[in-house]
Chains A and B, each alone.
Chain A
Amino acid sequence: MTHTRVRPTWSLRSAAAVLQLLLAGLVAAPAAHALDPEVMALANRLSWGGGSPPAVSTEEYLRDQLHPPANDGLPQALQDRIATMEISRRDPLELTAQQEKLRKELAAVKGKPSYGEMHKAYNAKIRSWQQEASERSLLRSVYSQNQLKEQLVWFWYNHFNVHWRKGRVQPLFADFEESAIRPRVLGRFKDLLNATVFHPAMLFYLDNRANKAGKINENYARELLELHTMGVEGGYSQKDVQELARALTGLAPDLRPLGERSRDSRELYIFQGVRHDTGDKVLLGQTIKGRRSADEVRAVVDLIARQPATARFISSKLAKYFCCDEVSSALVDAMAETFTKTDGDIAAVLETLFTAPDFRQSLGRKFKDPMHYVVSAARVATGAGAKTDPSLLARYISQLGQRPYDRSTPDGYPITDAAWSGSGAMISRFEVASRMSRNPGDIRDSPYVRAVMSNLGPNTRAALAGASNLANWKTIFFASPEFMHR
C-alpha cells in the first residue's frame, strides 16, 4: 500500500528558504535551541521515534548514529538492572546446564504427585529468560542514545530469526542476540553472518545437528541462502542448496560444561570432522576444496557473502525496513554498489540509503510496526518524566502481534507497512492507545509533543482541542495518523 500522504509542512525547501532569509539578515536569528524540522524528521526515522529533537545538525546526527560510541548512555540504574539479569551475568553454558538438570529432575518424578508443581516451576524458569531478554532489549530501545544501533539489533535478530520456544534454543537465544548480533550490527555483513553460523542457537533452530555426511539435512542450507543472504530470487539452484548442506555437515553446537572439554576452548560450536562430508563442493559455480576443518565453512560463507545477489538482497531488505515498501531499483543498485565496494560495510550501505533523495522523500510516511509504535509511545512518555515498565510494553507489542523473540518461522516478522496496517490491526492499535493513555505522564510536556504540535494536520489538532481530559488527549494523540507514521 503506497502512502501518498500530505507532505509534512517542513521540507528541504522551506528550511533552505529560512536559511536564505537569515543570511539576508531579514529575519532575526531564531533562539538557540529552536527545532530544526529536518533533523527532527531524520531522528524520527533513525531512532525508534518519540524522542526529543536532537540538538545537533543533520550531518552530526547521522554520523553519531552510524558510528555510535561504545557507551549507550543508559542511566546507571538501568545498566545495573540489566547487569544483574541472569541472562547477562550467567554464561549460556551455565543456563544450558541448568535447563538440562531441571529436565532430568522433572523426568525423575514423572508419574509422581510432585510432577505438576515441578513442571510449573520448570516452565516459569524458562519463561523468565524470555522475559529478561525482552526487558533488556526494550529498556535499551527506550533509553539508549544509540537508537539506530538498537533498531539494527532488532532488525538483524529478525533477519537471522531464531524462535525462543524451541527446546534447545531456550537457554541460548538471549546470548545469540547479545554476543553474535549486537556487537556486529553496523560492521561488515560477513562478520555478522559468520557469527550466526557458528552460534549454537542457530545450529539448533535450523537442525544442523541432524546434518551429517551421508544423511544430509538441507534445512539450514536452504534458509541460509533464501532468507539470510541471496534471497529467493538470488539465482542459486537446488544443487547449490545441497552442496552448501554438504559443506555444513559436522558443524554442531557444543554445550558441554567446561570441565568436560578436552580443550580449554569456550567455543559454543564444534566441528566434528568424522561427520563432515570431505569431498569437494561446487557451489555457485566455484569449487570449494573439501577439508576436515571449520575453515571450509568460513570459505563457503565468505563466497556467499560476496555474491552480488547478497549485496542486493541485504540492501533491499534494509531499504524496506528503513525507507519504504516499494524501493526503486536505482536505490538498491546504489546501496549494493556500496556494499560491494566496502566489502559489506553495513554503516556505509545505510549512509547511502539515508542520503538518498528517495529516503528524504519518505520521511514521515512510513507506517510504524508494533515495535516502533509502542516504543515510540514509551519514549514520548519518558520524555515527559514517566518511568517505563518494559513488561507492559512487551504486553502491548504482543497484543499487536509482534511478541519479542516469538516469531516461530525463520523468515522473521514481516517488515512491510502492509503487513501491519490491516483493519483489525488498526482497531487493536487504537485499543493499545487507549491503554497507554492510562499510564502516568503528561505527554503534552514532552519535548517530542512540543516539537510536533504545530505540524499536526488540522483534523488531528481539532480532535486534540476537543479532548475531554488528559487521558482522552493522550488516546487521541497516540491514535492519530501522524503518530502511526515515522
Chain B
Amino acid sequence: MVHTRRSFLATGGMAASLSVLGGQLYALAAQSAPRMLIVFLRGAYDAANVVIPVSSSFYYESRPTLAVPKERTMALDDDWGLHPSLKEPLELFWNDKRIAFVPFCGTDNLSRSHFETQDRIEYGLAHDVGSGPSGFMQRIASVMSGSKPIAFSDRLPIAFSGSINVPNFTLSPRKLAVSGRTRDVIQSMYEHDDLAPVVAQGFSVQQDVYKAINTEMRGANRGAVSTKGFELLATRVGYLMRERFNLGFVDIGGWDTHVNQGGVEGYLPKQVGSLGRGLAALAKTMGPEWANTVVIVVSEFGRTFRENGNRGTDHGHGSIYWVLGGSVHGGRMAGPQVEVKRDTLFQDRDWPVLTNYRSLIGGILQKGYGFTPAQIQLVFPSAPPADLNLV
C-alpha cells in the first residue's frame, strides 16, 4: 500500500477560513470556548535535571557534577522532585493539582536531529510519512469549531502550515516597522486586490496585539508583572488567549545545553525558572478563562541520561512533557512509567519513549475538547489517543 500524503483538511477549508477571517475576528463568543496552548521548547530541554528522578541512585551516579540533590528539590512524589527554580512559580499549581508531568514522552523519530524531529513533531504525521501539506495545529484549527488560531512567533510554524491562513505575530517588544500612516497607505493599495483580506487580517492582528500589549496591559493586572523576557511575553500571550484567540502556539529557544548547563544553579536553572514564572504569569492573566485552558509544554526529545565530559548533556530520546490548566487532573506523574535505572535506558544512553506525543495530545483533544475518533484521526493519523486522565 502506498502511503499518500493527502491533504488532511476538512473539505471547503478555504471557504471556511474566509468566514473565520470575515466576521468574528475580535469578539469571542460570550460563553467561554476551551483554549489550548502548545509551548514548544526548541533545543531539547534536559528533562532529567528539571523533573528529577530523586529515588534513582543511577541518576546520581550518572551525573556527578550536574545532579540536583534530593533535599534541594521540591517533592512531587516518592520518586520525583522538581528543580528548586520551579518551586516558587509552580508549587501552588502542584498543590492545587493543576499541573501534571508526563515522563518518558516523545516521538518515534530516532534521528536525534533538532530540525528533523521538530519538523516531524509539527507535521504530526506517522513516523514513516514524515511531512505533508499541513501541520497538526492547522488540522486542529480546521476541526475545532469557532477556532481562533494564533502563532506567537516571527514566522508561521510548520505546525500551523496549510491552507487556512493562520496569523502569526511576534510579541517581542520592538517598535512596529510599518505602522500608522504607512500602514494605511499600504492597505489602500490592496483595496481591490485578491490579497485584501489577508493584508487586512495581518494588519488588524498586528494592531490588536500591539494595542493589547501596550495599553491594556498597564495596570490591568492585579499584582506585579515582571518586565523581563519570557515572563513578559507569557503575560501577553495570556492576555491574548483570554481575549482574542483560543488555539495558540509559542516557542522558546535556548535549551540545547551541551556545555556547562548547571545543576542547582546556572544556565538551565535560570532558563527553566523563567519558563515557570512565565507560565504562572500566563495563568494569572487568563483569570477565569484559566479554568477552560490546557497548556502543553513539549520539546523535540530529551537528553542523554549521563552527563558528557563538558558538564552538559547531548541529544537523547524520551523527555518529560508538562500539562497544566485550570481543570487539569494534575498533582501527579502521568502515563506509563518505568524505574529509572541503567536497564531501562534506551540504547543504554537515553530515556525511553512510552507515551507518544500524538497520543498524548490526541487524548486531551478527545476528552477535553470533544473531538470524535474520526477527528482525532484527521489531526493525528494512525495515532490512537491515550487517555491519561489529564482532563
Q: Which A residues have a C-beta under 8 Å from some C-beta of B?
A: 1-6, 110-111, 115-116, 119, 163, 165-166, 226, 232-233, 236-238, 367, 399-401, 408-409, 411, 418-419, 421-428, 430-431, 433-435, 457, 459-460, 462-463, 466, 472, 475-476, 479-481, 484
User: Closest Cβ of chain B: how far from A440's Cβ, in Å?
Assistant: 18
Do B308 and A408 touch across chains, with their CB atoms under 8 A apart?
no
B374 in the interface, Cβ–Cβ < 8 Å?
no
B218 in the interface, Cβ–Cβ < 8 Å?
no
6 more contacts with CB within 8 A, not counting A236-B2, A476-B186, are A110-B308, A163-B115, A399-B155, A411-B131, A425-B156, A434-B182
Given A110-B309, A409-B131, A435-B177: A476 and B115 interface contact (C-beta under 8 Å): no
| A195 to B248 CA separation, bound complex (whole angstroms) | 44
Given A424-B168, A426-B199, A479-B186: A459 and B155 interface contact (C-beta under 8 Å): no
| A147 to B228 CA separation, bound complex (whole angstroms) | 48
B191 in the interface, Cβ–Cβ < 8 Å?
yes
Mark contacts of B151-176 with chain A using CB atoms, 8 A cut-off: 1 yes-contact digit, 0 otherwise: 10011100001010111110000000
Do B185 and A421 touch across chains, with their CB atoms under 8 A apart?
no
B58 in the interface, Cβ–Cβ < 8 Å?
no
Given A3-B194, A463-B189: A424 and B4 interface contact (C-beta under 8 Å): no
User: Closest Cβ of chain A: how far from B334's Cβ, in Å?
Assistant: 31
Residues of A within 8 A of B193 (CB): 5, 481
B259 in the interface, Cβ–Cβ < 8 Å?
yes
B34 in the interface, Cβ–Cβ < 8 Å?
no
User: Closest Cβ of chain B: how far from A424's Cβ, in Å?
Assistant: 3
5 closest A-B pairs by beta carbon, nearest first, are A111-B309, A424-B168, A423-B202, A408-B115, A423-B201
Residues of B within 8 A of A4 (CB): 194
Instruction: Out of A3, A423, A434, name the residue touching B177 (CB < 8 Å).
Output: A434
Residues of B within 8 A of A408 (CB): 113, 115-116, 119
Residues of B within 8 A of A481 (CB): 189-190, 193, 195
Do B259 and A116 touch across chains, with their CB atoms under 8 A apart?
yes
Residues of B within 8 A of A411 (CB): 131
Which of chain A's residues has its CB closest to B199's CB? A426
Instruction: Out of B1, B14, B155, name the residue touching A401 (CB < 8 Å).
Output: B155
User: Closest Cβ of chain B: how far from A422's Cβ, in Å?
Assistant: 5
B5 in the interface, Cβ–Cβ < 8 Å?
yes
| A418 to B14 CA separation, bound complex (whole angstroms) | 11
Given A459-B188, A479-B186: A431 and B177 interface contact (C-beta under 8 Å): yes
Q: Which B residues have a C-beta under 8 Å from some C-beta of A?
A: 1-5, 14, 113, 115-116, 119, 130-131, 151, 154-156, 161, 163, 165-169, 177-178, 182-183, 185-186, 188-195, 198-199, 201-203, 205-206, 259-260, 308-310
| A5 to B2 CA separation, bound complex (whole angstroms) | 39
Given A110-B309, A111-B309, A401-B156: A426 and B189 interface contact (C-beta under 8 Å): no
Given A119-B259, A166-B113, A399-B154: A422 and B194 interface contact (C-beta under 8 Å): no
Do A115 and B198 touch across chains, with their CB atoms under 8 A apart?
no
Residues of B within 8 A of A463 (CB): 185-186, 188-189
Do A115 and B115 touch across chains, with their CB atoms under 8 A apart?
no
User: Closest Cβ of chain A: how far from B119's Cβ, in Å?
Assistant: 5
| A478 to B340 CA separation, bound complex (whole angstroms) | 58
Do B192 and A459 touch across chains, with their CB atoms under 8 A apart?
yes
Do A423 and B308 touch across chains, with their CB atoms under 8 A apart?
no
Do B195 and A426 touch across chains, with their CB atoms under 8 A apart?
yes
Instruction: Out of A166, A236, A409, A422, name the residue touching B198 (CB < 8 Å).
Output: A422
Which of chain A's residues has its CB closest to B163's CB? A418
Residues of B within 8 A of A6 (CB): 192
Residues of A within 8 A of B309 (CB): 110-111
Instruction: Out of A111, A236, A460, name the residue touching B189 (CB < 8 Å).
Output: A460
User: Closest Cβ of chain A: how far from B86's Cβ, in Å?
Assistant: 27
Given A399-B154, A409-B119, A459-B192: A475 and B178 interface contact (C-beta under 8 Å): yes
Residues of B within 8 A of A435 (CB): 177
| A111 to B259 CA separation, bound complex (whole angstroms) | 9
A-B contact pairs, 19 of them (CB 8 A): A1-B14, A237-B1, A237-B2, A408-B119, A418-B163, A422-B198, A423-B165, A423-B168, A424-B167, A424-B168, A424-B202, A426-B195, A426-B199, A427-B206, A430-B177, A459-B190, A463-B189, A481-B193, A484-B195
User: Closest Cβ of chain B: how far from A304's Cβ, in Å?
Assistant: 15
Residue among B182, B183, B190, B198 having the largest count of chain A Cβ atoms under 10 Å? B182
Residues of B within 8 A of A459 (CB): 188-192
User: Closest Cβ of chain A: how far from B308's Cβ, in Å?
Assistant: 7
| A136 to B361 CA separation, bound complex (whole angstroms) | 44
| A166 to B119 CA separation, bound complex (whole angstroms) | 14
Residues of B within 8 A of A2 (CB): 194
Residues of A within 8 A of B192 (CB): 6, 457, 459
User: Closest Cβ of chain A: how far from B193's Cβ, in Å?
Assistant: 4
| A422 to B199 CA separation, bound complex (whole angstroms) | 8
Given A434-B182, A459-B188: A426 and B310 interface contact (C-beta under 8 Å): no
Instruction: Out of A400, A475, A480, A484, name the residue touching B182 (CB < 8 Å).
Output: A475
Do B155 and A426 touch across chains, with their CB atoms under 8 A apart?
no
Residues of B within 8 A of A430 (CB): 177-178, 183, 186
Which of chain A's residues has its CB closest to B131's CB? A409
Which of chain B's residues has its CB closest to A434's CB? B177
Residues of B within 8 A of A115 (CB): 259, 310
Residues of A within 8 A of B14 (CB): 1
Residues of B within 8 A of A400 (CB): 155
| A3 to B310 CA separation, bound complex (whole angstroms) | 56
| A411 to B120 CA separation, bound complex (whole angstroms) | 13
Residues of B within 8 A of A166 (CB): 113
Residues of B within 8 A of A236 (CB): 2
Do B188 and A232 touch across chains, with their CB atoms under 8 A apart?
no
Residues of B within 8 A of A428 (CB): 154-155
Given A423-B201, A427-B202, A428-B155: A476 and B185 interface contact (C-beta under 8 Å): yes
Instruction: Out of B5, B183, B199, B310, name the residue touching A110 (CB < 8 Å).
Output: B310
User: Closest Cβ of chain A: how far from B137's Cβ, in Å?
Assistant: 14
| A426 to B193 CA separation, bound complex (whole angstroms) | 13
| A370 to B206 CA separation, bound complex (whole angstroms) | 21
User: Closest Cβ of chain A: how far from B168's Cβ, in Å?
Assistant: 3
Residue among A226, A430, A431, A476 having the largest count of chain B Cβ atoms under 10 Å? A430
Residues of B within 8 A of A425 (CB): 155-156, 202
Given A409-B119, A475-B178: A422 and B166 interface contact (C-beta under 8 Å): yes
| A475 to B191 CA separation, bound complex (whole angstroms) | 18
Residues of B within 8 A of A426 (CB): 195, 198-199, 202
User: Closest Cβ of chain A: how far from B248's Cβ, in Å?
Assistant: 13
Residues of A within 8 A of B155 (CB): 399-401, 424-425, 428
Given A111-B309, A422-B198: A427 and B130 interface contact (C-beta under 8 Å): no
Do B4 and A409 touch across chains, with their CB atoms under 8 A apart?
no
